[in-house]
Chains A and B, each alone.
Chain A
């Protein structure tokens, strides 16, 4: 009896949070009202409970013999719940006997003009948490063994960087990409701002390093089919797409492609060049293997041809090949699926002017690239002549919340400056024009680069939007406004380059569902916290890198990939992981087996034993969100330390 009385007693700390709470909530009044509340042993307050002296005060109280639980009335539990639970553990108290009463975000911040009522509400919030706390159990956390392997999805520069960092730290890594080769978007670029390094020259050594790394297993031309399991123990089914070429035999000699009679527009060259139906993406591809594009291949269409079979000295062509599913087990997953460009067809007002000579930024990269379809010469796609007047339009599709995408794509100011500069290098007597809204050149040496473009290269920057494009003979007429002079501008251009908005690459929605991670309103993957957890997702063990999270340049992408890798290494450096014990559980006496909780669980943590008609919660998969508790009409599902009787007493204490 004495013991339970002790467990039912609670100590309360009220944090002022400087003036964040104290200027709205009358702390003295709160203390007065709570002083005689049943079960409350003491009420103390402090300026900043999270500060070192505040925590000392807290630990001292936890050590005291008189309380079974502690309530900290402060900010959201998302911020300092861990702080105080850890402090309690250090002081010898069960950490799950510490509860946070949120009187800042849910009270003082939202009621700062109604101080009296805010004080009453703060008291109510604290009382209800006291009731919850009195009924808490001393839980202990659950341990999970981890698989020390990692899957990186997307083998662009971010995925490659993350994979290298992880593999070089001694951890086996699978690097997956849906394309036949690693390299991603960066392999398509010509030169990179602000140093004008040749993109392929700096990328290919990395690609080779990845290809040679013994701890990296490449899974190119593959897709994530299904993900199950949980942090430390993911099971991933990978679809290895049929290449119709036996990669164990193929040496990438290219004889098959030479003989192949079927030519189609090359995706890699943004349709400015052509590839064969059997092809390798680009000369430096890693792995250097060919694939057959089934849609274009004459054999698959007509049953005849087979010239590649004749050409291949190694007998590697295999028309019978089928997709196969490979299952791998990993402890962590990095998602680095990169970006696509917004479709220019979606820009209604430009559409009338569209012709072969209106291209997007990536296509212009291919024109500039020395390994591109024109070997780096800037030529009009329509007739192969050198364009003398080229208009670059920035923010196409970006920063246009009414019609297109609301966000800034972040790299277009820089790459447009680079495009204009490189164009000027290639065509010294040509005239580039840039239409811009404003120039965003935050980044080391970025502003200097833009200034150099404007001043030294004499690129004409026009501040204003382009209203429409139309064709006049061989010219594309660009109609816009110069908002500085207030004049209407018409340029008869030979070529127009659109700096299209970046958007997450196709299929990210399905992938995010398989991984049970969130996407934001623009479809980019959501980070766990915008500032402090930028490479984590809310699903433990799944991390983000590169443009899948938001538009960014190569520098930031590489930095972020390194950050994601270090988070993975931190996670896997432990032999065992711990999991919060505040999970749901099913009272089998009450469970009627209707299965509504199973359908509610976003984490796949509940299974229904159809024979016994009982639901069962997997402790490790359960994230303690409580959706199943709400769904169960029988109140058979309960959450540890958030039981239904705890809810009732919380409500009872305030209504």
Chain B
């Protein structure tokens, strides 16, 4: 059931979304909107916090580029309770990371409205900028990308997106759906009580209704599932290039510690220790403990990792961190039948105890 209002005046899905966000802000349903917007120059799109309705023009959540996982921004934005209502327009992986952060008590969501949308996937920033540099019509690039997404994901799309099966934002408060909807139509659906309350009267229907939508989603899921790896057999080789720059940790939306225990001073590396270790082991690779570093990150993030792949984009050494994290986290999460960000009501695996879980490691 596509929204047909003002159809003749709109040309693209982007503009339909823009229109919805404009009304949201203009009608005072929220006080500010966090949304990706194309910057002057046109070659990059990244999150902007907008409080003046006229500034909504030029926002472009569908542009296939993700500079940061915006959950990191949300975490910073509502780290303490605020009395203004904020709508955050997020990709599904960002929605899921935000929900994990809520469960980890790292943000106050009382005044936060999470708006999710169908995500066509992204290119790594460099690829995107390279691809769009010489294009006149920047928006046409997005439309072409959406076309590719619906028919098969281009080779240059970020690896994590190529195997992502969570490209719809089912756990958001409000969901903007366009897959299976005749362009430039979109369906705005409230998914939670808060969503209904805050966007009352702006919903345009049940996004699950069109059968063509379900079919299209099913096809994309099937195609992407096939690309998922079930194991990593050369982890040591893969992380060899690591220079311990900590970029993967810095960009991870879920890394929430105030001070990382993997910092050299916390790890107790002293000059004397390096030398005594080298003496004992004949030689040590410098920087040390890259394996320990990555295993600890996997161990800490594995329960809640949403496989956004932002760590892989941030890695200067092109380590396939997105794939590595995905393989490990999927195994950890399936042990607990847990899907991060699926619902606010699912309890974090480490904070619950069920007698029947993990029986395979008991020796009875």
Q: Across the interface, which residues of B come within 8 angstroms of A620, CB to CB?
A: none
Q: Across the interface, which residues of B come within 8 angstroms of A634, CB to CB?
A: 257-261
Q: Assuming A592-B258, A594-B104, A633-B257, is B273 touching A652 (CB within 8 A)?
A: yes
The yes or no answer to A649 lying at the interface (CB within 8 A) is: yes
Max chain B C-beta neighbours (<10 A), residue from A596, A633, A634, A644: A633
Bitwise interface map of A from 577 to 613 toward B, beta carbon under 8 Å scored 1, else 0: 0000000000001111111101110000000101001
| Residue on A nearest B364 in the bound complex, by CB | A521
Bitwise interface map of B from 300 to 341 toward A, beta carbon under 8 Å scored 1, else 0: 100000000000000000000000000000000000000000
CB pair B104–A589 under 8 Å, yes or no, is: no
With A590-B257, A599-B351 given, can you name 16 additional A-B contacts, CB distance below 8 Å? A589-B259, A590-B258, A592-B106, A593-B106, A594-B256, A596-B348, A596-B350, A599-B348, A608-B105, A610-B105, A633-B261, A634-B259, A636-B258, A645-B268, A648-B267, A648-B268
The yes or no answer to B8 lying at the interface (CB within 8 A) is: no
Query: A600 vs B105: C-alpha distance in the bound complex, in angstroms?
Result: 16
The yes or no answer to B352 lying at the interface (CB within 8 A) is: yes
Q: Across the interface, which residues of B come within 8 angstroms of A649, CB to CB?
A: 268
The yes or no answer to B266 lying at the interface (CB within 8 A) is: yes
Q: Across the interface, which residues of B come within 8 angstroms of A608, CB to CB?
A: 105
Q: Across the interface, which residues of A come within 8 angstroms of B105, CB to CB?
A: 593-595, 608, 610, 613
| Residue on A nearest B351 in the bound complex, by CB | A599
Can you list 15 A-B pairs, Cβ within 8 angstroms, ordered by A? A521-B364, A591-B258, A592-B106, A592-B258, A595-B105, A596-B348, A600-B350, A633-B261, A633-B300, A634-B260, A635-B261, A636-B258, A644-B261, A652-B268, A652-B273
Query: A599 vs B364: C-alpha distance in the bound complex, in angstroms?
Result: 26
The yes or no answer to A631 lying at the interface (CB within 8 A) is: yes
Query: A176 vs B352: C-alpha distance in the bound complex, in angstroms?
Result: 32
Q: Assuming A594-B105, A599-B352, is B256 touching A635 (CB within 8 A)?
A: no
CB pair A594–B106 under 8 Å, yes or no, is: yes
B60 to chain A, nearest CB (A): 33
| Residue on B nearest A598 in the bound complex, by CB | B351
Q: Across the interface, which residues of B come within 8 angstroms of A610, CB to CB?
A: 105
The yes or no answer to B147 lying at the interface (CB within 8 A) is: no
The yes or no answer to B197 lying at the interface (CB within 8 A) is: no
Residues in chain A within 8 A of chain B (CB atoms): 521, 589-596, 598-600, 608, 610, 613, 631, 633-636, 644-645, 648-649, 652
The yes or no answer to B277 lying at the interface (CB within 8 A) is: yes
CB pair B256–A592 under 8 Å, yes or no, is: yes
B249 to chain A, nearest CB (A): 12
Question: What 5 A-B pairs come out closest when comparing CB atoms?
Answer: A599-B351, A634-B257, A635-B261, A594-B104, A633-B300
Query: A610 vs B350: C-alpha distance in the bound complex, in angstroms?
Result: 19
B123 to chain A, nearest CB (A): 31
Q: Across the interface, which residues of B come within 8 angstroms of A592, CB to CB?
A: 106, 256-258
A135 to chain B, nearest CB (A): 11
B292 to chain A, nearest CB (A): 10
Max chain B C-beta neighbours (<10 A), residue from A589, A592, A598: A592
B190 to chain A, nearest CB (A): 28
A648 to chain B, nearest CB (A): 5
Q: Give residues 171-186 of B contacting A (CB, 8 Å).
A: none
B243 to chain A, nearest CB (A): 23
B82 to chain A, nearest CB (A): 15
Q: Across the interface, which residues of B come within 8 angstroms of A521, CB to CB?
A: 364
Query: A205 vs B9: C-alpha distance in the bound complex, in angstroms?
Result: 96
Q: Across the interface, which residues of B come within 8 angstroms of A635, CB to CB?
A: 261, 266
| B350 partner, pick from A591, A613, A631, A645, beta carbons under 8 A | A631
B219 to chain A, nearest CB (A): 38
Q: Across the interface, which residues of B come within 8 angstroms of A599, CB to CB?
A: 348, 350-352
Q: Across the interface, which residues of A come within 8 angstroms of B104, CB to CB?
A: 594-596
B186 to chain A, nearest CB (A): 36
Query: A635 vs B266: C-alpha distance in the bound complex, in angstroms?
Result: 9
B133 to chain A, nearest CB (A): 40
| A600 partner, pick from B257, B277, B351, beta carbons under 8 A | B351
Q: Across the interface, which residues of A come within 8 angstroms of B364, CB to CB?
A: 521
Bitwise interface map of B from 220 to 235 toward A, beta carbon under 8 Å scored 1, else 0: 0000000000000000
A288 to chain B, nearest CB (A): 42
Max chain B C-beta neighbours (<10 A), residue from A589, A631, A635, A645: A635
Query: A589 vs B273: C-alpha distance in the bound complex, in angstroms?
Result: 26
Query: A610 vs B108: C-alpha distance in the bound complex, in angstroms?
Result: 11
A272 to chain B, nearest CB (A): 37
Query: A589 vs B258: C-alpha distance in the bound complex, in angstroms?
Result: 8
A593 to chain B, nearest CB (A): 6
Query: A633 vs B301: C-alpha distance in the bound complex, in angstroms?
Result: 9
B103 to chain A, nearest CB (A): 9
Q: Across the interface, which residues of A come within 8 angstroms of B352, CB to CB?
A: 599
Query: A634 vs B263: C-alpha distance in the bound complex, in angstroms?
Result: 11
Query: A608 vs B261: C-alpha distance in the bound complex, in angstroms?
Result: 21
Q: Give residues 228-274 of B contacting A (CB, 8 Å).
A: 256-261, 266-268, 273
Query: A648 vs B300: C-alpha distance in the bound complex, in angstroms?
Result: 18
| Residue on A nearest B267 in the bound complex, by CB | A648
| Residue on B nearest A595 in the bound complex, by CB | B105
A291 to chain B, nearest CB (A): 34
Query: A360 vs B256: C-alpha distance in the bound complex, in angstroms?
Result: 61
| Residue on B nearest A634 in the bound complex, by CB | B257
| Residue on A nearest B104 in the bound complex, by CB | A594
A131 to chain B, nearest CB (A): 11
CB pair A595–B351 under 8 Å, yes or no, is: yes
Q: Across the interface, which residues of B come within 8 angstroms of A644, CB to CB?
A: 261
Query: A559 vs B273: C-alpha distance in the bound complex, in angstroms?
Result: 59
Query: A599 vs B353: C-alpha distance in the bound complex, in angstroms?
Result: 9
Query: A649 vs B258: C-alpha distance in the bound complex, in angstroms?
Result: 23
Query: A595 vs B352: C-alpha distance in the bound complex, in angstroms?
Result: 12
| Residue on A nearest B280 in the bound complex, by CB | A655
Q: Across the interface, which residues of B come within 8 angstroms of A594, CB to CB?
A: 104-106, 256
Query: A595 vs B256: C-alpha distance in the bound complex, in angstroms?
Result: 12
B53 to chain A, nearest CB (A): 34
Query: A648 vs B258: C-alpha distance in the bound complex, in angstroms?
Result: 20
Q: Across the interface, which residues of A come within 8 angstroms of B257, CB to CB?
A: 590, 592, 633-634, 636
| Residue on A nearest B276 in the bound complex, by CB | A652
Q: Across the interface, which residues of A come within 8 angstroms of B351, CB to CB?
A: 595-596, 598-600
Q: Across the interface, which residues of B come within 8 angstroms of A593, CB to CB?
A: 105-106
Query: A643 vs B109: C-alpha distance in the bound complex, in angstroms?
Result: 35
Q: Across the interface, which residues of A come within 8 angstroms of B267, CB to CB?
A: 648
Query: A610 vs B105: C-alpha distance in the bound complex, in angstroms?
Result: 9
Query: A610 vs B351: C-alpha distance in the bound complex, in angstroms?
Result: 17
A512 to chain B, nearest CB (A): 13
Max chain B C-beta neighbours (<10 A), residue from A589, A600, A648: A648
Query: A634 vs B261: C-alpha distance in the bound complex, in angstroms?
Result: 6
B260 to chain A, nearest CB (A): 8
B48 to chain A, nearest CB (A): 27
Query: A592 vs B258: C-alpha distance in the bound complex, in angstroms?
Result: 6
Query: A608 vs B351: C-alpha distance in the bound complex, in angstroms?
Result: 14
Q: Across the interface, which residues of B come within 8 angstroms of A590, CB to CB?
A: 257-259
Q: Across the interface, which residues of B come within 8 angstroms of A591, CB to CB?
A: 258
Q: Across the interface, which residues of B come within 8 angstroms of A600, CB to CB?
A: 350-351
A109 to chain B, nearest CB (A): 18
Query: A533 vs B317: C-alpha distance in the bound complex, in angstroms?
Result: 59
B340 to chain A, nearest CB (A): 14
B252 to chain A, nearest CB (A): 12
Bitwise interface map of B from 61 to 98 toward A, beta carbon under 8 Å scored 1, else 0: 00000000000000000000000000000000000000
| Residue on A nearest B299 in the bound complex, by CB | A633
Q: Across the interface, which residues of A come within 8 angstroms of B261, CB to CB?
A: 633-635, 644
Query: A595 vs B277: C-alpha distance in the bound complex, in angstroms?
Result: 36
Query: A602 vs B364: C-alpha distance in the bound complex, in angstroms?
Result: 23
A380 to chain B, nearest CB (A): 44
A403 to chain B, nearest CB (A): 17
B104 to chain A, nearest CB (A): 4
| Residue on B nearest A630 in the bound complex, by CB | B350
Query: A634 vs B260: C-alpha distance in the bound complex, in angstroms?
Result: 6
Q: Across the interface, which residues of B come within 8 angstroms of A598, CB to CB?
A: 351
Query: A595 vs B350: C-alpha distance in the bound complex, in angstroms?
Result: 11
| Residue on A nearest B79 in the bound complex, by CB | A613
